[in-house]
Amino acid sequence: MRIAVIGTGYVGLVSAACFAELGHHVTGVDIDEAKIAMLKEGKSPIYEPGLEELITRGLKSGLLQFTTDLKECLPEVHILFSAVATPPNADHSADLRAVFTVARTVAEHADHDLVFVNKSTVPVGTGKKCEELMAEILKKRDMNVSIPVVSNPEFLREGMAVGDTLMPDRIVVGVNGKMDSGQWTGGKDAVHSPLSTVHSLDARALMEELYRPITRVGKPLLFMSRESAEIVKYASNAFLATKISFINMLTEFCEKTRANIRDIARGMGLDDRIGPRFLHAGIGYGGSCFPKDVKALLATAKEHGLDFSIVEATDRINARQRHRFFEKILKTLKPNSTVGIWGLAFKPKTDDMREAPSLDLLPVLLKNGHCVKAYDPFAMENAKKLLPAGISFAQSPMDAAKDADALVLLTEWDLFRGADLRELKAIMKGIDLFDGRNVYEPSEVREAGLRYHGIGVAL
C-alpha cells in the first residue's frame, strides 16, 4: 500500500517509519526543509528511542522516503495521513489551520480516489469540515474523485512511541457510515456529507488492510463514527489528566495532615477498579498533549453550552500544583542562591520541551536573583532555544549539583533516579533537595544528610 504522512513531527515521523517497517511504501512530507534534509540523511530530528534505526532501515529498503513537496507523492497515494500540529489558539481552542491547509492542497492536486486520514488531535466535526472543504474544491475543479475523510487519532506516548505504534493497546478508526444494528458500517455504502458524492472508495477496507500486520497479532481495531473517534482522543487525555489531578489534589491535604501520598496512591491503586497507573503525585502534567487537549475539550464544551466542570477542575488543579511547588522552592531559597536543575524535558525519554515545568520555573528563579545550572541528557539543545540567557548548562548531573545551595528534580530520567545521594550531599553546598516527581524515598534522602522536599509528604 502507498501512504503519505504529512507532518514529520513526533507523531507523523513515528507513524511513517513504523508503516514502512510494516512493509508499506511511505513518503513523509514536511514543510520544514531542514527536517527533511536531516531525514533524507537518515538522521532523526527528534529524540525518540528506536526511531532512528527504523528510519535508516526504511531508507535502505526503499520503503521510506521524504520530501517537502506534497504534490510530488500524491499521484500514487492510497491513504494520506495528516499528522500536522494542532496547537492552542489564544482562546484555547485547537488551531486547525495546518489541517485545513493540508486538506486544501490535497483537493487542489488530487486526480484519483484516496483516503484522507486525520491523525492529528482535532475537535469533533473537523473531519466533516475537511470533507466539505475538499468536496467544494474538487467540484470547482470539475474532478470526479472521491476523498473520504477518516479519523484515526493517535495515542502514542513520547519516549515509547515506536512500541506504542507497532503494538498499540487499540487502534481507533472513525469512518463515515450508517448505523446498522448498532454497528457503524462505514465504507462503500456510507452516508456522506451533503457536499460529497457517494464514495466509491471503501475507506474501512483500506484501513483494515493497512493495519492488518498489527491486528494479526491480536491488537484491537475499533471502527466507529468519525465523530466518536474524534471525541475518544480528547476523552482519553482528559480522563488520564483527571486521574493525575485527582491524586495531586490530595497532596496538600497529606502535607497538612502528616499523611504520605505514596501510601495513599498504593492503597488506592491496588483496587482493580482504580489501578495504580497515573496515580503518581508530582508537579502535574505538561507536554504537548494533556494541557492543550484538556483546554481544547473545555473550549468545545463551551461552544456546545455543556458543563464539563470535572475537566475544568483538572486544569485548575494542575496549574495550582505547579505553582505550589515553585512557591515552596522560592520560600526556602536564601537570596542569590545557586540552584541545580535535574531535567528540562516535560518527561523522560524525550527532548520535547512543550509545556515543560522548566520553562516556567527557570525564568522565575533568574528573576528572583538566583543562579541556575541545569542538566538534561537529551533536551538541552531544545531548551537553550527557549530559555532566557543567563542559565548555565552542565555537562553531567553532578556538574549541575556541584556547589549548589539547592537541587530541584523536574524530570524523572532514570539516571537521576539512581543518583548516589551521599555523593550528592558531598558536592552540594546546601542541603535542600526538591523532588518534583517524588522519585526518592524521603528517609534515604534524610539519611544522606539532605533535606527532602517532596510532594504530598510532610517535611
Ligand X SMILES: NC(=O)c1ccc[n+]([C@@H]2O[C@H](COP(=O)([O-])OP(=O)(O)OC[C@H]3O[C@@H](n4cnc5c(N)ncnc54)[C@H](O)[C@@H]3O)[C@@H](O)[C@H]2O)c1
Q: What's the chain look like in SS3?
A: CEEEEECCCHHHHHHHHHHHHCCCEEEEECCCHHHHHHHHCCCCCCCCCCHHHHHHHHHHHCCEEEECCHHHHHHHCCEEEECCCCCECCCCCECCHHHHHHHHHHHHHCCCCCEEEECCCCCCCHHHHHHHHHHHHHHHCCCCCCCCEEECCCCCCCCCHHHHHHCCCCEEEECCCCEECCEECCCCCCCCCCCCCCCCCCHHHHHHHHCHHHHCCCCCEEEECHHHHHHHHHHHHHHHHHHHHHHHHHHHHHHHHCCEHHHHHHHHHCCCCCCCCCCCCCCCCCCCCHHHHHHHHHHHHHHCCCCCHHHHHHHHHHHHHHHHHHHHHHHHCCCCCEEEEECCCCCCCCCCCCCCHHHHHHHHHHHCCCEEEEECCCCHHHHHHHCCCCCEECCCHHHHHCCCCEEEECCCCHHHHCCCHHHHHHHCCCCEEEECCCCCCHHHHHHCCCEEECCCECC
CB of 293 to ligand X, least distance (A): 7
**Footprint (CB under 6 A) of ligand X, residues 353-412:** none
- Which segment (28-36, 204-212, 255-263, 439-447) binds ligand X by CB under 6 A? 28-36
> Which one of the spans 25-33, 249-257, 313-321, 390-398 is the region binding ligand X (CB under 6 A)?
25-33
Q: Which is nearer to ligand X, 124 or 400 (CB)?
A: 124
What is the closest distance, in whole angstroms, from the C-beta atom of residue 4 to ligand X in the complex? Answer: 10
9 binds ligand X (CB under 6 A): yes
Q: Which of 4, 5, 12, 311 binds ligand X (CB under 6 A)?
A: 12
Calpha distance 369→283 (Å, rounded): 23
Q: Which of 1, 2, 22, 31 binds ligand X (CB under 6 A)?
A: 31
- Measured from the CB of residue 424, what is the shortest distance to ligand X in angstroms? 32
User: Exposure of 270 by Cβ count < 10 A (0-12 exposed, 13-18 middle, 19+ buried)?
Assistant: exposed
User: Which residue from 36, 114, 175, 289 is in contact with ligand X, where contact means CB under 6 A?
Assistant: 289
**Whole-number minimum distance, CB 254 to ligand X, in Å?**
30
- Interacting residue with ligand X among 3, 4, 5, 10 (CB under 6 A): 10
Of 3-11, 56-64, 315-323, 434-442, which segment contacts ligand X by CB under 6 A?
3-11
Closest CB 161 distance from ligand X, rounded Å: 7
Catalytically annotated residue among 18, 73, 130, 289 = 289
Copy the grid coordinates of residue 423.
Answer: 555523593
What residue number has its CB nearest to ligand X?
A: 9
Residue type, 16: A
CA distances from 365 to 61, 72, 289, 331, 343 (A): 50, 49, 26, 11, 15
29 binds ligand X (CB under 6 A): yes
Q: Which of residues 166 and 448 has its CB atom nearest to ligand X in the complex?
A: 166
Binding mask 88-127 for ligand X (x = CB under 6 A): ----------x--xx-----------------xx------
User: Binding to ligand X (CB under 6 A): which residues in 210-269?
Assistant: none
Q: Is 130 a catalytic residue?
A: no
Instruction: Tell me which residues in 53-92 interact with ligand X (CB under 6 A).
Output: 83-86
Q: To which residue does cell 504529512 refer?
A: 6
Do β-strands 2-6 and 392-393 pair in parallel, antiparallel, or remain unpaired? unpaired
Which phi and psi (to 5°) does residue 379 adopt?
Answer: -100, 5
Nearer to ligand X, 73 or 445 (CB): 73
Which residue's CB is nearer to ligand X, number 237 or number 338? 237
Count residues contacting ligand X (CB under 6 A)? 26
Residue 165 touches ligand X, criterion: CB under 6 A: no
To ligand X, the closest distance from the beta carbon of 52 in angstroms equals: 16
Q: Which is nearer to ligand X, 102 or 147 (CB)?
A: 102
> At its nearest, how many Å lie between ligand X and the CB of residue 12?
6
The reply to whether 338 sits near ligand X by the rule CB under 6 A is no
User: Does 19 interact with ligand X (rule: CB under 6 A)?
Assistant: no
**Binding residue for ligand X, selected from 19, 26, 30, 81, defined by CB under 6 A:** 30
Decide: is 351 part of the binding site for ligand X (CB under 6 A): no
**Which range binds ligand X by CB under 6 A, 58-66, 151-159, 269-277, 373-381?**
151-159
Q: Three cell numbers at 368? A: 528572583
* Phi-psi region at 174: left, alpha or beta (left = phi > 0; alpha = psi -120 to 50): beta
Given 65, 225, 288, 318, the residue binding ligand X (CB under 6 A): 288
Q: Does 8 bind ligand X (CB under 6 A)?
A: yes
For ligand X, give the closer residue by CB, 84 or 408.
84
User: Catalytic positions, please?
Assistant: 289
Binding site for ligand X (CB under 6 A): 6-12, 29-32, 35, 83-86, 98, 101-102, 120-121, 154, 156, 158, 288-289
